Structure 1
Amino acid sequence: MSEHIIDAHALHATAQYKQFSDLADKVVFITGAGSGIGRAMADAFAANGAHLALLDINAEALERARAELHLTFPQIEVDCHVASIVDQVAVEAATAAVHAHFGRIDVLLNNAGISANRPTLELPAEQWRRAIDVNLNGVFYCAQAVASRMVAQGSGVILNTASMYGTVAAPERAAYCASKAAVVMLTKVLAIEWAPQGLRVNALAPGYVRTALVEELVRAGRMDLEALQRRTPARRLGEPHEIATLALFLASEHAAFINGQAVVADGGWSAYSYI
């Protein structure tokens, strides 16, 4: 718990310096909020005084996040919901509960997703379907459910988490690249369709980020950290709080004229054509 608290205090200083004061008292709905980038997003928006609705499939991670957030940011409200984003009925129920609780939803951080890395000739159909179901269908279900409330209130921001691998390709990631590229195009469609109703829709496209999942893959020998760092022009992985800070900017009034974009944060990976 202490690690999150220390990170939150550091992020609080950064957020205050960047002056995202327009996010104070906004209602921010975050999917995949129990860990990784979603958890960092919760810290970031809480640091700016936003009230949080957190959704995750992991009930234990959600309760841990709620306790840590209350301890660090006692002035904000944290509402938690356990659900899978691939269950459209559960997504609608959670969205309705969040809206009933707060009376509005100002920002959706459509963050939940899964990785998929396997040679294409060995890729089982069920793993292909799972990647598409979570990374694309789940994003659509959440966006549709929340946007119906945002349209009624005449304002809102949706940030879909795509990936740099939604803009460039890599071997053995057919399902992941396809699903994340689809999120980028879905984002563009929703942005142009919903802009007249006062909504903005953008995508975050992170590169390799140092999360607990990545560290576990490195320890298990399934990911070569040194090779990834050498391949990245910045010579390091990203940090969750860096993606969260980008989300702060895109959700704020500072980004009021940015719509329908996939904003890549990958340390230069996709700009560098050398493999």
Structure 2
Amino acid sequence: MLSPTPPPGTRVLVTGAARGIGRAVADAFAANGARICVLDRDAVPEAPEGWLCRQGSVAVAADVEAAFAAMDAAWGGVDVAHANAGFSMNKPTTELTEAEWRQTVEVNLTGAFLTAQAAARRMLPQGHGLILFTASLFHAVGGADRAAYAATKGGVANLARALACEFGPAGVRVNAIAPGYVETWLINDLIARGRLDGEALMRRSPQRRLVQPAEVAAMACFLASPAAASVNGAVLAVDGGWTANGAP
């Protein structure tokens, strides 16, 4: 029977892991015996002993390369690269500045590409590996005031599909997770400040609740497991049925 968890000792990079989904993913892999490297613009609070923690931007190739180089030196390479770092932009399109558009593209899409590119340069010669992206429910649906965010997350989903086709023959898989509204500090803050209608979110979700970070992390660990060996080029929703629900 194929194991649904990653093998102990798996070498994992997670970007945007200081908190939220990224931290939950890093913690879940660590709980399964993985070796963890994180890259975030912020310091990682209470990082466990043995983690490699690098501060920097995923939109800067040198910062991404430095994180992978640290893994090369410590562990001889990488098995899983999760390009999770993202930037949320919720603003009317007519008020969106060029700088805000470019910032969203640079972090969400360029950062994902640079992470995948650096990972592939290591995984392709070794003949195995998983590149994983964090997309969003907005890769599949639209939303008012989400032009920049939805455009980049749609790009991330198609980047995963394209790279899966390119890298698959060499044994490297590429997938994306598309979370719905996840109960993180950011969502809770937006609800508390009235920027999001929490009750409306609950009504739209068939499960009538927010997704938990650990549930997204569980999907990431499954995708890195032997049981997911034929899952390639997939964009997998972890949204409580949000995108399946056509009702307003």
User: Shorter-chain TM-score category?
Assistant: over 0.9
Gaps of 5+ in 1: 1-17, 71-76
- 1:46 corresponds, among 30, 42, 58, to 30
Deviation at 1:218, TM superposition (A): 1.5
Distance in 2 (CA, whole Å) between partners of 1:143 and 1:206 is: 19
- AA aligned to 1:115 is S
1:174 alignment partner in structure 2: 147
Percent of residue pairs bearing the same amino acid type: 48
2:42 alignment partner in structure 1: 58
User: What is the count of residue pairs matched by the alignment?
Assistant: 247
Distance in 1 (CA, whole Å) between partners of 2:143 and 2:20 is: 23
1:10 alignment partner in structure 2: none
1:230 alignment partner in structure 2: 203
Distance in 2 (CA, whole Å) between partners of 1:21 and 1:124 is: 43
Give the structure, 1 or 2, with the largest relative contact order (CA under 8 Å, sep 6 or more): 2
Whether the 8 Å CA contact 1:20–1:48 is kept in 2: the answer is: no
2:96 corresponds to 1:112? no
Distance in 2 (CA, whole Å) between partners of 1:262 and 1:107 is: 17
Distance in 1 (CA, whole Å) between partners of 2:195 and 2:157 is: 27
Whether the 8 Å CA contact 2:5–2:222 is kept in 1: the answer is: no
More displaced 10-residue stretch of structure 1: 87-96 or 104-113: 87-96
Per-residue CA deviation, residues 167-213 of structure 1 (Å, 9 max, x unaligned), is 11111100000000000111011101001111000000000000011
Deviation at 1:43, TM superposition (A): 1.2
Whether the 8 Å CA contact 2:37–2:67 is kept in 1: the answer is: no
Whether the 8 Å CA contact 1:250–1:258 is kept in 2: the answer is: yes
Whether the 8 Å CA contact 2:5–2:32 is kept in 1: the answer is: yes
Per-residue CA deviation, residues 102-157 of structure 1 (Å, 9 max, x unaligned), is 10100011100011111111111111111111100000001001110111211100
SS at match of 2:38: strand
- Give the TM-score of the pair, scaled to structure 1: 0.87
Per-residue CA deviation, residues 38-66 of structure 1 (Å, 9 max, x unaligned), is 0001111111101101111002xx1x241
- 2:7 corresponds, among 1, 15, 23, to 23
Gaps of 5+ in 2: none
- 2:110 corresponds, among 137, 140, 162, to 137
Deviation at 1:93, TM superposition (A): 2.1
SS at match of 2:18: coil
Whether the 8 Å CA contact 2:15–2:38 is kept in 1: the answer is: yes
Whether the 8 Å CA contact 1:34–1:65 is kept in 2: the answer is: no
- Give the TM-score of the pair, scaled to structure 2: 0.96
Deviation at 1:19, TM superposition (A): 5.4
Distance in 1 (CA, whole Å) between partners of 2:81 and 2:211 is: 22
Distance in 2 (CA, whole Å) between partners of 1:21 and 1:265 is: 18
1:35 alignment partner in structure 2: 19
More displaced 10-residue stretch of structure 1: 234-243 or 80-89: 80-89
Question: What is the 5 A alignment of 1:1-275?
Answer: 20-59=4-43, 62=44, 64-66=45-47, 69-70=48-49, 77-275=50-248
After the TM superposition, which segments of 4 or more aligned residues of structure 1 sit over 2 Å from their partners?
A: 18-23
Deviation at 1:22, TM superposition (A): 4.1
SS at match of 2:9: coil
Bigger share in helix: 1
Distance in 1 (CA, whole Å) between partners of 2:29 and 2:64 is: 22
